[in-house]
Structure formats: C-alpha cells, structure tokens
Amino acid sequence: MQTNHRIVIGNANQLTAVADQSIDLVVTSPPYPMIQMWDDIFCAADPAIKQMLQSSNVDDAFEAMHRLLDNTWKELRRVVKPGGIVCINIGDATRTIGGRFRLFGNHARIIAAFRELGLDQLPVIIWRKTTNAPNKFMGSGMYPPGAYVTLEHEYILIFRLGDMREFISPEQKQNRRESAYFWEERNIWFSDVWFDLIGTRQATNNNNKSRDRSAAYPFELPYRLIQMFSVKGDVVLDPFLGTGTTMLAAMAGGRHSIGYEIDQNFQSVILEKIAGLPKLANQVLTNRLEQHEKFIQERINKEKEIKHRNQYHLFPVVTRQEAELSFDWVEQIQFSGNDQVKVIYTKQAAAPAPLPDGPAKPPKKQSRKNQKPQQLEMF
C-alpha cells in the first residue's frame, strides 16, 4: 500500500489545488479570532480589522475575522464528498478591549457558518485541557462578582455533508473492515470529553522566521479523528496545516492527505517532521497493540469471555468487527521536491507476540495475513 501527500503553500480562502468533491475528511484548526497571537494574520488579510480593534469596535472585528474564515468553510463545502466529514478544533476567546472584558464565542459562530452552508452538525467533543495559564484566575480574585471563569477547554466541532456514507462494493466493505479500531479505543475516542490529550503548545524550530509558537495540536488529536471518521486510502485535507500534524497523522493512518499553509516558513518544519515519520508512526502502532494486549490480558484475568480473534495479529478481540482490523507499518518515505511525499507501507513488520489462548476462539475464516491490500492512488 502507498499514500500520497501534498503540501500547498498558499491561502486557504481558495483551495484551487483541490478538486470538487474529492475530500473524504477535513481535520483542522484555524487561527482563532480574537486571540491576540492571530491578530497579525487577520489584519494582514483585511486591514480594516486593525482599525476596528484600535477603536474597540470588537463586534465588527470578531465578525470580520470570521468572514475571512467563512471563505475557507465555503471552499470545504465544495471540495468535500457527499457523506464526508469536517472536524474543526476551535477555542473561544476572552479579551479585554477598551476596558471591557468579554468572551468571544468562536465555536458558536463557526457552527452558524456550517449550518448556513447546509452541513449537519454531529455531537461535539470537548477537549478538556490542563492549563497552567497565568490568567487562570482572572478578574476580581476572591471578591464577587467580578471574577471570571477560566477557559480550560476547546471544541472539536464535527459536521457531515449529506447522508451517511455508504460502502457498497466488496472491496470497499473489506477496506472498511480492515480500517476498524479496537473496542476499547472506541469507548474512549467516542466519549464527548477528551481528558487525556496533552495540549502542547510547541515551540517551532525555524529560527524565529515565523511566529515563536506554532499552536500545534497534539498528534493524538488528528490521529484519533482520522481513525474515527475515515478509512484507509481516504483523502484527508487540512486547510490550516501549520506544522503538519494532520498530515503526519494521515500518513501514520494510511490515508492520503493535502494541506494548505499560508506561512512559507512552516514548509521546512513540516518536511523535517515527515522525515521522522517511520519512527513515530510505527511507535504509535506498537503502542496501540501493546495497549490492546494489556486490555485483553486484564479481561482474561477477570475471566471475562472473549469470543473473537483478530485474523492478522492472531490475538483475541472483543467484537467480530475487530476480526479483520489490520495495521500498515510505514516502510519508506519518498520526497518529490518540497511539496510532495509518498509513503510506502508493509504488513510484515513484527507485532507483539500473540496472547495466550484464554477463552478466545480462533476465527473460522482463513487468515488474510499474506494478502496484499489494494493499491490506492491520488493526484
């Protein structure tokens, strides 16, 4: 199996490199309106915003920043396939302007934009962050009523375009079965509060040519969303690529990807991260297998019945839907110029030793261990 990836240095208000209805999943985090670190980007795109902020015209500034993002949301409506899913990580903003402290509800404004575009909203995920922000206690301290609640969460908004996607051909159905995740992963990933991601605000290593902080989300965030809402060989888009975290997660998950980033300085950061992909991706898979092994061992210890067995890895699994789940290990990366990358995978890498038999029963079907998955091409 191989996947293709493309980095476009350009403005996401026009996704000209992306064809109509060609994207299965969008995972992204835009610049956040009314958060100071993004003022320059919004003001550069629309100089009137600077004047609005200087004259404390906050409602107009907030709306003007969102109108810039609306251009990208409109493009997503064009490029996403029917049944495709859009996941947007966004935080609200608090800010004092003209002496008045206020909350700016970015997540609500984006929900309204997608409703206008005709996408259906699905249940949101609250990403609960542990923060040591210095403004944790804002306002009048211990004296009521002027202290403010601290924002310690962000949203992952999820939208779908049209009806639920269908898997019709035997190949599509097979690929979907192989793209399954573990039962115990589902129980954590599909919870509406994610506690366990570390919200690292990473320093970039590009000689201060760009912003000193990248606002990157943790790898686990796009990785989970990609596993949850796409299948192997799908095309994932991130219109606000930043350091390329979504692209790395797509590569690790056997999905194609395309990303837009306006800041040229991020290109070298992204390429550097991609160079470290084999180690990262294979560590992610090893961790998933080890976690599963631990989980199953605990169930066996508790004498809980486990009826099914995975055909590739030969260990017990809880449900029949996990029987054909298979991992693709990154074998090789091929760079083509500064903007295109091919990732080649293998099924042959060593997996942890099979678990002791316990109460699990072997599957009836023949092992598909040596069968090659379909070749998928993009671009």
Ligand X SMILES: C[S@@+](CC[C@H](N)C(=O)[O-])C[C@H]1O[C@@H](n2cnc3c(N)ncnc32)[C@H](O)[C@@H]1O
Footprint of ligand X (CB under 6 A): 11-13, 29-31, 41, 214-217, 240, 242-243, 245, 260-263, 266
Q: Which is nearer to ligand X, 14 or 140 (CB)?
A: 14
Q: In angstroms, give the least distance from the CB of 74 to ligand X.
A: 13
Q: In angstroms, give the least distance from the CB of 121 to ligand X.
A: 21
Q: Supply angle C-alpha 288, 293, 294, rounded to 5.
A: 100
Q: Which is nearer to ligand X, 260 or 312 (CB)?
A: 260
Q: Which is nearer to ligand X, 215 or 360 (CB)?
A: 215
Q: Which is nearer to ligand X, 2 or 245 (CB)?
A: 245
Cis peptide before 145 (omega within 30 of 0): yes
Return the CA Rg of the chain.
22
- The C-alpha atoms of residue 61 and residue 38 are separated, in whole angstroms, by 12
Q: Which is nearer to ligand X, 70 or 322 (CB)?
A: 70
Q: Which is nearer to ligand X, 60 or 263 (CB)?
A: 263
Q: In angstroms, give the least distance from the CB of 62 to ligand X.
A: 16
Q: In angstroms, give the least distance from the CB of 245 to ligand X.
A: 3
Q: In angstroms, give the least distance from the CB of 207 to ligand X.
A: 16
Q: In angstroms, give the least distance from the CB of 29 to ligand X.
A: 4
- The C-alpha atoms of residue 349 and residue 331 are separated, in whole angstroms, by 9
Q: In angstroms, give the least distance from the CB of 366 to ligand X.
A: 42
237 contacts 18 by C-beta, under 8 angstroms: yes
- Please give the structure tokens belonging to residue 321: 């839907």
127 contacts 68 by C-beta, under 8 angstroms: no
The Cα-based distances of 306 to 15, 323, 357, 362 in angstroms read 48, 12, 10, 11
190 contacts 326 by C-beta, under 8 angstroms: no
- The C-alpha atoms of residue 177 and residue 363 are separated, in whole angstroms, by 15
Q: Which is nearer to ligand X, 156 or 161 (CB)?
A: 156
Closest CA to 340 of 282, 270, 284, 278: 270
DSSP sequence for 152-205: -EEEEEEEE-SSPP---SHHHHHHHHHT---HHHHHHHTSSEE-------PBP-
Q: Which is nearer to ligand X, 93 or 355 (CB)?
A: 93
Q: In angstroms, give the least distance from the CB of 169 to ligand X.
A: 34
Residue of minimal CB distance from ligand X? 242
Q: In angstroms, give the least distance from the CB of 221 to ligand X.
A: 8
- The C-alpha atoms of residue 199 and residue 34 are separated, in whole angstroms, by 20
Report the DSSP beta bridge partners of residue 153: 128
Q: In angstroms, give the least distance from the CB of 310 to ligand X.
A: 32
Q: Which is nearer to ligand X, 43 or 161 (CB)?
A: 43
Q: Which is nearer to ligand X, 35 or 325 (CB)?
A: 35
User: What is the per-residue burial (b if ≥16 Cβ within 10 Å, else e) of 355-365?
Assistant: beebebeebee
186 contacts 320 by C-beta, under 8 angstroms: no
